[in-house]
């Protein structure tokens, strides 16, 4: 099956939706996993911001850079606010890493590299 531009755009849309789901999971995990009050506040606020900015990035691709900033803040909070159990810190660190990687892939440069690389194959 020949890869088409439409297929790649559809896959990029799937990646954007995955970022939205990660943000929603982060909000839910603030109430499901054990957190201190401060850690729960950081988790649900950054989760809501990630979900909102990821949803906005469907129409404004540059918003993906903001997701990268939120991911760095989330990763830093997972390291600094270390009173939470390991499962909570691993969850937040994993989400931070996933959002960061996806936001880089979904940035304008990432889109161009992704489409250029796969168009030649």
**Cα–Cα distance between 45 and 95 in angstroms, integer?**
14
Instruction: Find the domain containing 106 and state its range.
Output: 5-119
**Cα–Cα distance between 92 and 74 in angstroms, integer?**
7
Report the domain count for the chain.
1
The phi-psi region of residue 19 (left if phi > 0; otherwise alpha if psi is between -120 and 50; otherwise beta) is alpha
What is the overall mean pLDDT for the chain? 80
Question: pLDDT at position 1, please?
Answer: 44
Q: What is the pTM of this model?
A: 0.78
pLDDT tens sequence across 45-58: 999 999 998 888 77
């Amino acid at each position: 099956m020949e890869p088409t531009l439409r297929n790649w755009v559809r896959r990029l849309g799937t990646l954007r939706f995955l970022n939205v789901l990660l943000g929603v999971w982060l909000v839910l995990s603030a109430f499901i996993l054990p957190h201190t009050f401060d850690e729960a506040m950081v988790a649900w606020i950054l989760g809501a911001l990630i979900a909102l900015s990821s949803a906005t990035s469907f129409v404004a691709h540059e918003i993906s850079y903001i997701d990268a900033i939120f991911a760095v803040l989330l990763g830093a909070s997972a390291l600094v606010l270390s009173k939470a159990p390991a499962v909570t810190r691993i969850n937040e660190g994993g989400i931070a890493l996933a959002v960061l990687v996806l936001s880089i892939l979904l940035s304008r440069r990432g889109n161009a590299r992704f489409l250029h690389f796969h168009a030649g194959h």
